[in-house]
Amino acid sequence: MGISARTRARRLTVQALYQWQMAGQALADIEAQFLEEQDLRNTEVGYFQELLHEIPRNLAEMDDYLRPCLDRALESVDPVELAVLRLGVFELRYRHEIPYKVVINEAVELAKRYGAADGHAFVNGILDRLAPQLRSVETGDRPAPAPVKPKVAPTVVKAKPTVKITHKPKAEPVAEKPSSDLYKGPGRDGDSQGEKSPWSSRPRREREVRADEGAGPWPKRPRDDAGPETPKEKPGIWPSAPPGDPKQRS
């Protein structure tokens, strides 16, 4: 597929604008020089002449559109890329019969042909951001792409485990009831003071008798009126008689 006449006109325009930016030569002289020296076969000469004169005439407006989209001063932009950008902005702004995608594509190809190695990416980014502003109806009011920011790894914060504290009500101390089965009296007569003793469950008479006999927890004591204890005789031995007793056995 051959190069279109309008594409040839754009190529001549970029060269002429570059010469005008660098040398400051009069536009009429530049035009005459190109019409005489350049091969204009298959070139849309009228479009070349329009671009060469209209872009410098509306230069302030073109640059006002460019400045907010640049990450550097306008004077720091490469002269070839600046000429391509001004051409692209002019077509986006005034030549609505040309689809905005065609305008951007043509500008990118011009930057590849005459600009630096990565100049085409720079031109593509700037014009792509301006397209929604200058061709809002055509682009459907799509927002301009935001500048790409470096990705930052998100900070991971580990959540601390939640400790649920439950307050249990304190149990009230229960008073111990005194046991009625324990003997707390000073002696056998503790039941007379209203305290239960081992004797309280028996009749009083039985308790007196058993107490006399040494029953219960008290040790058995000898009776005072029992007299001296009579020694028991050993089997097979007679008890000895008092002295002088005729009945004493030999």
pTM above 0.85, yes or no: no
Give residue 147's pLDDT band: very low, low, confident or very high (50, 70, 90). Answer: very low
Q: Give me the mean pLDDT over the 138-166 stretch.
A: 53
Q: Report the range of poorest mean pLDDT among 28-42, 52-66, 138-152.
A: 138-152
3-state secondary structure of 57: helix
pLDDT at 45: 95
pLDDT at 136: 86
Cα–Cα nearest to 56, from 87, 91, 78:
87
Residue 222 is assigned to a structural domain of this protein: no
Averaged confidence pLDDT in the chain? 75
Residue 77 is assigned to a structural domain of this protein: yes
Cα separation, 80 vs 65, in Å, equals 18
For the CA atoms of the chain, what is the radius of gyration?
A: 65
Return the ∠ at Cα 84 (arms to 80 and 88), rounded to 5°: 170
Region of residue 90 (left: phi > 0; alpha: psi -120 to 50; beta: else): alpha
Residue 146 is assigned to a structural domain of this protein: no
Residue 19 is assigned to a structural domain of this protein: yes
Residue 78 is assigned to a structural domain of this protein: yes
Q: Is the pLDDT of residue 16 over 50?
A: yes
Cα separation, 85 vs 89, in Å, equals 6
pLDDT at 3: 87
pLDDT at 227: 53
Cα separation values, 57 from 6, 14, 54, 114, 239, Å = 21, 16, 5, 24, 171
Residue 171 is assigned to a structural domain of this protein: no
Indicate the number of domains in the chain. Answer: 1
Cα separation, 196 vs 9, in Å, equals 131
Per residue in 91-132, pLDDT (tens digit) is 999 999 999 999 999 999 999 999 988 899 999 999 999 999
pLDDT at 203: 54
Residue 210 is assigned to a structural domain of this protein: no
Cα separation, 188 vs 208, in Å, equals 10
Cα separation, 30 vs 210, in Å, equals 152
pLDDT at 69: 93
Q: Can you give the CATH number for the domain in which 51 is found? A: 1.10.940.10
Per residue in 179-221, pLDDT (tens digit) is 555 445 555 444 445 445 554 555 555 555 554 454 455 555 5
Q: Where are the alpha helices (DSSP H) in 69-146?
A: 79-94, 100-114, 119-134, 136-139
Residue 163 is assigned to a structural domain of this protein: no
| Residue 75, domain extent | 5-139
pLDDT at 22: 93
CB 10, CB 90: distance < 8 Å = no
pLDDT at 221: 55
